[in-house]
Structure 1
Amino acid sequence: MTLKLSTPLFFCLTLCGTLQAAPNAEAEAAFQRAVLAAEANAQWAERLIDQEQKGQLDKQITTEALRDIGQKHDAVEHDLRQASDGGHAVASYLLANLQERSKLWVSGQYTARHEQACALYQRAAEQGLVAAAVAVLRDCDSASQRFLFDDPTLQRQREQLRTTLEHTDPYAEHYPLPALKSLCFKEMKMVAPDPGRPLTTLAQAFEPVQLDLRQYRADGYYLLAAKGDPEQPEVGRGHFTQLRALAPDCLDPIGLAYMYDAQRQKTQ
């Protein structure tokens, strides 16, 4: 069976052509160039992957394709950066996705790329983009991993997400947007490398999931419930209730449903 990948990793930008969020003409023009280039790159990558799976690519062509991926990535990144610098929140979010993804293959730049991604997510979150506020708490928090739930930075990130979720997203018409991770809607799984099909392996390992605004909001409430202050379980339970109302199909990889249901039974 030939595997068909709808959104190859390489560009992480399955974008509709109707995105119109630029605050000025130059930023909008740069963003539209990035959109068009990303769409063309995705089609090019899909053709290569299809040929690879059919055994139609030799080693030289594959090597050249892997080199071209980097060049095409850099061109899209350049236009997104120009749009982001011009105040385009969606461009900032997508550029952050590129930085967060590239940290895994750019030697010696893991920390620097991650910090750049978090700064870009934060910039877009401050402009009210729900997807970005979700990414900040999901990907840029380190305190909860050390069980420091009263950490000032974590508290600020939680409050930012909570406030953003309570307001209308000014970029609502731009969804769906790609998410590199999602606790509710993307399974965590390891992809076994296939030396004979490097392009396919690369795409499977990093393919984003397209989420609409409701799904991003659900992910946001899940994060608030998972990373909330354990001294205030009723707050976390409230966030989880909001999540269930939005997305009863949430994967719930941490098992919050069991935890909060058990707590509720104890109080009855």
Structure 2
Amino acid sequence: MKAIFACTLVLGLICCAACERVVSPEEYFASAQRTAAKIERDANDRIKREAAGESVQYTPEQLRVAEGDLEALVDNLKHASGGGHTLATYVLASLQDNPMFSEQTRLQTCGLYQRAMDDGLLAAAVGYYHLCDKAYERFDAQNPDHLKFLQSLEQLLLKPDTHADDYPLQAKRSLCFEEHGAPAGKVGPMAAMRARAAGLVLSEDQFRAEAYYILALTRVNGSDMRDSGNIEHFDKAIALGCKDSVGLKAILQAQSRLSKNH
């Protein structure tokens, strides 16, 4: 009798588990969006209080709630990303994209950017370049991983972004539009952070400008020289609104002339 009861209990538990409703990646992402909106409302309130000269320090209870909100946000994004939600994967990567984090976290974040890039999200390719494409920083322009990345970037630029409806999206860094995030006038630290972040919310065309500028900056030919192909990428970036703050055009023109003489 005990054995029959035990079997019945196990069967009941199995049936209950089978009957539980499966939460979809879209639902997890929607929950993450609601939590993000709550976090944003709190930030807006603190910016207003900062402007009024009031304290914006967290009380222990407020800190506990804020940490709980962040944990819930990340947890929902991880579930959505694990279910194949491309935008959730990108947002999760953006949250983890921090130079202060460990090398292990950086590599995990690069994996997230890579997944979103493989799903056709151009913004993820731009994020991947800034955090993960370290070969160019070592002046190793012919590095196989770097060349593979540039090839993927060029392929993404050949077609419309499959996630065009998800733009504008937050970028963590920008070669073309960084100065747009500079706060106007004298503001508090929180308002300055908000202004910089708002300046890096980019449209699809702006991410395309970033991508073309990356190609113009880092692509070299078989002789390790920049050539007319780089100038072509540069011109496309400028046409999409990229600000050449580092004077890349003059460098490209000079190297292109040298390339023709070789």
TM-score by length of 2: 0.78
Q: Which residue of 2 aligns with 1:217?
A: 208
**Per-residue deviation at 1:25?**
6.4
1:49-89 CA-partner distances (Å, limit 9, x unpaired): 2112322227564x655554433222111111111111111
Seen in structure 2, the aligned counterparts of structure 1 residues 142 and 263 have a Cα distance that, compared at 3 Å, is closer
Determine helix, strand or coil for the equivalent of 1:93: helix
Report the residue type matching 2:139 in the other structure.
Answer: F
For the 8 Å contact 2:117–2:124, the answer to whether it is kept is yes
Identify unmatched segments of 5+ residues in structure 2: 1-21
1:240, CA displacement in angstroms? Answer: 0.9
Does residue 220 of structure 2 align to residue 226 of structure 1? no
Are 2:243 and 1:246 aligned? no
1:161 alignment counterpart: 153
The CA RMSD measured in Å over matched residues stands at: 3.0
Shift of residue 202, structure 1, vs aligned partner: 5.5
Q: Check the 8 A contact 1:221/1:242 in 2, yes or no.
A: yes
Q: Does 1:85 align with 2:79?
A: no
Residues 99-178 of structure 1: pairs in structure 2 closer than 5 A: 99-101=96-98, 104=100, 109-178=101-170
Once residues 187 and 208 of structure 1 are traced to their aligned partners in structure 2, the CA distance between those partners, rounded to angstroms, is: 8
Q: Which amino acid aligns with 2:90?
A: Y
Letter in 1 for 2:171: A
Matched residues, number: 234
Letter in 2 for 1:253: S
CA distance in 2, matches of 1:174, 1:263: 38
Structure whose residues are more often helix by fraction: 2
Which stretch shifts more, 136-145 or 212-221?
A: 136-145
Q: Given the alignment, which residue of 39, 46, 50 partners 2:44?
A: 46
Q: Which residue of 1 aligns with 2:176?
A: 184
Give the whole-Å Cα distance in 2 for the aligned partners of 1:246 and 1:202. Answer: 26
Whether contact under 8 Å (2:181, 2:199) holds in the other structure is no
Q: Hey, what does 1:235 align to over in structure 2?
A: 229
Corresponding letter in the other structure for 1:28: E
1:34 counterpart residue number: 32
Q: How far apart are 1:255 and its partner, in Å?
A: 1.6
**TM-score scaled by structure 1?**
0.77
Aligned residue for 2:176, secondary structure, equals coil
TM-fit CA distance, 1:207: 5.8
Cα deviation for residue 133 of structure 1 reads 1.3
Q: Kindly indicate whether the alpha-carbon contact (under 8 Å) linking 1:137 and 1:158 is maintained by their aligned counterparts in 2.
A: no
Structure having greater relative contact order (Cα 8 Å, sep ≥ 6): 1
